[in-house]
Amino acid sequence: MNNSTQPNNFISDEKKLRQKRRERADSRFHWYGLTALGLALAFLVFFFVDIIGQAVPAFYQTEVKVNIHYVEAAKTNYNKAVDHKLRRVVSRAWLRTLPVYLKRHPELIGNNIKQWVPADSRVDQYIKQHNGHGLKSKYQRIVDAMAEEGRIRQVFNIRFFTSGDSKLPENAGIFSAAVGSIFTLLITMLIAVPIGVMTAIYLEEFSEDNHFTRIIEVNINNLAAIPSILYGLLGLAIFINFAGVPRSSALAGGLTLALMTLPIIIIATRAALQSVPSSIREAAFGLGASRWQTTWHHVLPLAMPGILTGSIIGLAQAMGETAPLLIVGMVAYVPDAPDNILEAATVLPAQIYTWAGESLRAYEERTAAAILVLLTVLLSLNGLAVYLRKHFERRW
Amino acid sequence: MNTSKVNIKDLKLWYGESEALHGIDIEFSEKRVTALIGPSGCGKSTLLRCLNRMNDRIPGCRIEGQILLDGDDIYAPEVDVVQLRTHVGMVFQKPNPFPKSIYENVAYAPRIHGLAGSGSDMDELVETALRRASIWKEVKDKLHTPGTALSGGQQQRLCIARTIAVQPNVILMDEPCSALDPIATAKIEELIDELKREFTIIMVTHSMQQAARISDQTAFFYMGDLIEFGETGTIFTQPEKQQTEDYITGRFG
Supply the CATH number for residue A353's domain.
Answer: 1.10.3720.10
CATH number of the structural domain spanning residue B41: 3.40.50.300
Are the beta carbons of B85 and A285 separated by less than 8 Å?
Answer: yes
Q: Which residues pair with B225 in a beta bridge?
A: B222
Q: What pLDDT, on a 0 to 100 scale, did the predictor assign at position A7?
A: 60
Are the beta carbons of B99 and A280 separated by less than 8 Å?
Answer: yes
At A332-346, the pLDDT tens digits run 888 888 998 999 999
* Of A286, A302, A396, Cβ closest to residue B85: A286
**Residues A100 and A29 occupy one common structural domain:** no
**Residues A51 and A66 occupy one common structural domain:** no
Q: What pLDDT, on a 0 to 100 scale, did the predictor assign at position A125?
A: 92
**Residues A195 and A125 occupy one common structural domain:** no
Q: Which residue, A103, A105, A98, is CA-closest to A77? A: A98
Which whole number is the average pLDDT over B110-132?
88
The fraction of chain B above a pLDDT of 70, given in percent, is: 98
Sheet containing strand A152-156, strands side by side = A112-118, A60-69, A152-156
**Residues A122 and A89 occupy one common structural domain:** yes
Q: Worst-scoring range by mean pLDDT, A9-23, A158-172, B22-36, B231-245?
A: A9-23
Q: Worst-scoring range by mean pLDDT, A100-104, A278-282, A375-379, B57-61?
A: B57-61
**Residues A184 and A308 occupy one common structural domain:** yes
List chain B residues with CB under 8 Å of A305. Answer: none
Which whole number is the average pLDDT over B185-199?
92
Are the beta carbons of B57 and A285 separated by less than 8 Å?
Answer: yes
Q: What pLDDT, on a 0 to 100 scale, did the predictor assign at position B55?
A: 87
- Average pLDDT, whole number, for chain A? 90
pTM confidence score: 0.84
Q: What's phi and psi for A60, nearest 5 deg?
A: -120, 140
Q: Is residue B157 part of a domain?
A: no
**Residues A156 and A219 occupy one common structural domain:** no
Q: What pLDDT, on a 0 to 100 scale, did the predictor assign at position A233?
A: 94
Q: Is residue A170 part of a domain?
A: no
**Residues A212 and A263 occupy one common structural domain:** yes
**B97 and chain A in contact, CB less than 8 A:** yes
Q: Which of A214, A287, A300 to mutate to test the interface with B (most CBs of B within 10 A)?
A: A287
Q: Is residue A168 part of a domain?
A: no
> How far is the C-alpha of B24 from the C-alpha of B47, rounded, in Å?
9
What pairing do the DSSP bridges indicate for beta strands B217-222 and B225-231? antiparallel
* Of A282, A290, A298, Cβ closest to residue B82: A290
Cβ atoms within 10 Å of A159's Cβ, excluding its own:
18
Q: Which residue, B244, B171, B238, B184, is CA-closest to B208? A: B244
- Average pLDDT, whole number, for chain B? 90
* Of B146, B159, B166, Cβ closest to residue A396: B146
Q: What pLDDT, on a 0 to 100 scale, did the predictor assign at position A394?
A: 57
Q: Is residue B28 part of a domain?
A: yes
* Of A286, A293, A298, Cβ closest to residue B90: A286
Q: Is residue B213 part of a domain?
A: yes
Q: What pLDDT, on a 0 to 100 scale, did the predictor assign at position A74?
A: 84
Q: Worst-scoring range by mean pLDDT, A162-166, B107-111, B113-117?
A: B113-117
Q: What pLDDT, on a 0 to 100 scale, did the predictor assign at position B3?
A: 80
Q: Worst-scoring range by mean pLDDT, A45-49, A84-88, A315-319?
A: A84-88
Q: Which amino acid is at A259?
A: L
Res A276 pLDDT > 80: yes
Q: Smallest CA–CA separation between A212 and chain B, in Å?
A: 15
Last residue of a domain, one of A36, A56, A76: A56
Are the beta carbons of A396 and B108 separated by less than 8 Å?
Answer: no
At A296-327, the pLDDT tens digits run 999 999 999 999 999 999 999 999 999 999 99
At A108-136, the pLDDT tens digits run 888 888 999 999 999 999 999 888 888 88
Q: Is residue A285 part of a domain?
A: yes
Which whole number is the average pLDDT over B178-198?
91
Res A4 pLDDT > 80: no
Q: Is residue B217 part of a domain?
A: yes
**Residues A368 and A247 occupy one common structural domain:** yes
List chain A residues with CB under 8 Å of B81. Answer: 288
At B46-60, the pLDDT tens digits run 999 999 999 888 888
Res A3 pLDDT > 60: no
Q: Which of B81, B103, B112 to mutate to test the interface with A (most CBs of A within 10 A)?
A: B112
Which whole number is the average pLDDT over A214-235?
91
**A287 and chain B in contact, CB less than 8 A:** yes
Are the beta carbons of A396 and B148 separated by less than 8 Å?
Answer: yes
List chain A residues with CB under 8 Å of B163. Answer: 286-287
Res A163 pLDDT > 70: yes
Are the beta carbons of A289 and B159 separated by less than 8 Å?
Answer: no
**Residues A215 and A334 occupy one common structural domain:** yes
pLDDT-derived band at A218 (thresholds 50, 70, 90) equals: very high
What pairing do the DSSP bridges indicate for beta strands B4-15 and A152-156? unpaired
Task: Please compute, for residue A7, the number of CA atoms within 13 A of its CA located in the half-sphere on the CB side.
Answer: 2
Q: What pLDDT, on a 0 to 100 scale, did the predictor assign at position A334?
A: 87
**Residues A250 and A333 occupy one common structural domain:** yes
Which whole number is the average pLDDT over A61-78?
88
Are the beta carbons of A287 and B159 separated by less than 8 Å?
Answer: no
Cβ atoms within 10 Å of A294's Cβ, excluding its own:
20
* Of B83, B94, B100, Cβ closest to residue A279: B94
Q: Is residue A169 part of a domain?
A: no
Which whole number is the average pLDDT over A267-279?
92
* Of A277, A280, A288, Cβ closest to residue B82: A288
**B215 and chain A in contact, CB less than 8 A:** no
Task: Please compute, for residue A327, the number of CA atoms within 13 A of its CA located in the half-sphere on the CB side.
Answer: 21
Q: Is residue B164 part of a domain?
A: no
Which whole number is the average pLDDT over A276-287?
91
Cβ atoms within 10 Å of A337's Cβ, excluding its own:
21
Looking at residue A246, the DSSP 8-state letter turns out to be P
**B74 and chain A in contact, CB less than 8 A:** no
Which whole number is the average pLDDT over A179-197?
95
Q: Is residue B119 part of a domain?
A: no
Which whole number is the average pLDDT over A356-385?
92
Q: Smallest CA–CA separation between A207 and chain B, in Å?
A: 10
**B109 and chain A in contact, CB less than 8 A:** yes
State how many domains chain A has: 3
The fraction of chain A above a pLDDT of 90, given in percent, is: 61
Q: What's phi and psi for B221, nearest 5 deg?
A: -110, 145
Q: What pLDDT, on a 0 to 100 scale, did the predictor assign at position A6?
A: 60
List chain B residues with CB under 8 Å of A289. Answer: 82, 108-109, 112
Domain boundaries, position B193: 4-95+170-248
Res A2 pLDDT > 80: no
Domain boundaries, position A265: 175-392
**Residues A12 and A76 occupy one common structural domain:** no
Which whole number is the average pLDDT over A3-10?
60
Are the beta carbons of B98 and A298 separated by less than 8 Å?
Answer: yes
Phi-psi region of B70 (alpha: psi -120 to 50; beta: other; left: phi over 0): left
**A243 and chain B in contact, CB less than 8 A:** no
Q: What pLDDT, on a 0 to 100 scale, did the predictor assign at position A251?
A: 94
Q: What pLDDT, on a 0 to 100 scale, did the predictor assign at position A11?
A: 72
List chain B residues with CB under 8 Å of A288. Answer: 81-86, 109, 112-113, 166
ipTM value: 0.90
Q: What pLDDT, on a 0 to 100 scale, did the predictor assign at position A234?
A: 92
Give per-residue burial for B103-117: e unless 16+ CB within 10 Å, then b: bbbbbbbbbbbebbe
Q: Is residue A167 part of a domain?
A: no
* Residue contacts between A and B (CB atoms, under 8 Å): 63
Q: Smallest CA–CA separation between A381 and chain B, in Å?
A: 28
State how many domains chain B has: 1
Which whole number is the average pLDDT over A357-378?
92
Are the beta carbons of A283 and B92 separated by less than 8 Å?
Answer: yes
Q: What pLDDT, on a 0 to 100 scale, did the predictor assign at position B192?
A: 93
List chain B residues with CB under 8 Å of A282. Answer: 54, 92, 96
Query: Own/partner pairs for B226-235, CB < 8 Å, 24+ apart?
Result: B226/B24, B226/B25, B226/B26, B227/B38, B229/B26, B232/B35
**B111 and chain A in contact, CB less than 8 A:** no
pLDDT-derived band at B2 (thresholds 50, 70, 90) equals: low
**Residues A120 and A189 occupy one common structural domain:** no
